[in-house]
Amino acid sequence: MEKHGLRERKKERTREALIDAAHVLFCANGFEATTIDQIAEAVEVSSRTFFRYFTSKEDVALSLADEQITAVLEAFAAQPGDMPVLTAMRTAAVDVVRVYETEARYTSLQNLISVSPALTAARVERGAARFDDVVRLISARMGVDPDVDPRPCLVASVALCAVPTAVVAWRAAGHQTPESELTGQAFDLLTAGLDYPARPAVPGEN
């Protein structure tokens, strides 16, 4: 993967340093309150250089989340070919999250995302950028043409958008359950269908 030599190593180092510094500052002062200048200063580069490594403030915050999506997609593609789509996606997502959630960096990033609307939106946007890839993978597994069959699209939107949103909401509601378990639970509920009955007609109980 790497080209060769010193130059590449230096670049990789400043890139990592920027991610680190940004992460520390975000955690200390919050995402919106941190400026690009502060991040650049902490690494002793110009703010112009920051933008040569990352396209935006969101970009540096979400670089980890990007890796994660890539990992999930790889794991999904690696599932046995006869496994139903959502089950395969569930397995892939849960396996990957189980690994990531052991990293402190990852969990604090999740907190950051859940308290910053700007980051939440950016995360969804990045998911959307992968939308076409995901649809391709899913329709390949289902053996259908995504231009005709709308189901791959729906599954993709649920996996990229609804599940993360629900997981964040559960955590915000105070659930201490590990994220991998919440993710699994979300997929399980989706598998079974969502049309839950209304309040039972028998009153007086609770």
Smallest distance, DNA to C-beta of residue 46, A: 4
Q: Is 176 in the site for DNA (CB under 7 A)?
A: no
Which of DNA, a second copy, none lies near 52, with the C-beta cut-off 5 to 8 A by kind? DNA
Torsion of CA 65, 68, 70, 71, to 10 degrees: 170
Cβ pair 133, 116 in contact under 8 A: no
Residue 105, helix vs strand vs coil: helix
Tell me whether residue 115 is exposed, middle or buried, using C-beta atoms within 10 angstroms of its C-beta: 0 to 12, 13 to 18, 19 or more: middle
Smallest distance, DNA to C-beta of residue 100, A: 25
- Name which of 66 and 181 has its Cβ closer to DNA: 66
Site string for DNA, 52-71 (x = CB under 7 A): xx-xxxx-------------
Contact segment (CB under 8 A) with a second copy among 7-15, 39-47, 61-69, 145-153 equals: 145-153
Residue 47, helix vs strand vs coil: helix
User: What is the total residue count of the chain?
Assistant: 206
Q: Is 193 in the site for a second copy (CB under 8 A)?
A: yes
Smallest distance, a second copy to C-beta of residue 72, A: 17
